[in-house]
């Protein structure tokens, strides 16, 4: 359900002209954001986790914190608290 809500949020945030099966010029930052945030949502709601998912999550966490736009002190603090 969380991934469905996330997908709807991304879809509805696009301009109306892009929602009708037109070709999108997506930036690499946006594509990474969608992939990494989907993985993060999966990790938050998982019951058990394989180490490969955790290793991908660990390396994507820095990007998610950078993309969030928080202050650098908050980003470092959040990273230290999570790990």
In order, the DSSP letters of 39-61 are HHHHHHT-SS--HHHHHHHHHHH
Contact indicator for 54, 46 with CB cutoff of 8 Å: no
Compute the distance between CA of residue 44 and CA of residue 42 in angstroms, rounded to an integer.
6
Task: Determine the length of the chain.
Answer: 83
**At residue 70, what are phi and psi to the nearest 5 degrees?**
-65, 165
Strand positions, DSSP E, 1-83: none
User: What pLDDT score does 18 carry?
Assistant: 56
pLDDT greater than 80 at residue 10: no
User: What pLDDT score does 28 carry?
Assistant: 84
State the pTM of this model. Answer: 0.62
User: What pLDDT score does 78 carry?
Assistant: 83
Per residue in 11-55, pLDDT (tens digit) is 667 666 555 555 666 788 888 888 888 888 888 787 777 777 777
């Amino acid at each position: 359900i969380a991934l469905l809500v996330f997908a709807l949020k991304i879809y509805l945030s696009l301009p109306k002209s892009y929602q009708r099966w037109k070709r999108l010029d997506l930036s690499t930052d946006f594509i990474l954001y969608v992939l990494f945030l989907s993985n993060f949502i999966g990790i938050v709601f998982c019951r058990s986790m394989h180490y490969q998912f955790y290793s991908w999550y660990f390396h994507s966490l820095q990007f998610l914190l950078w993309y969030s736009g928080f202050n650098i002190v908050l980003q470092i603090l959040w990273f230290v608290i999570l790990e």
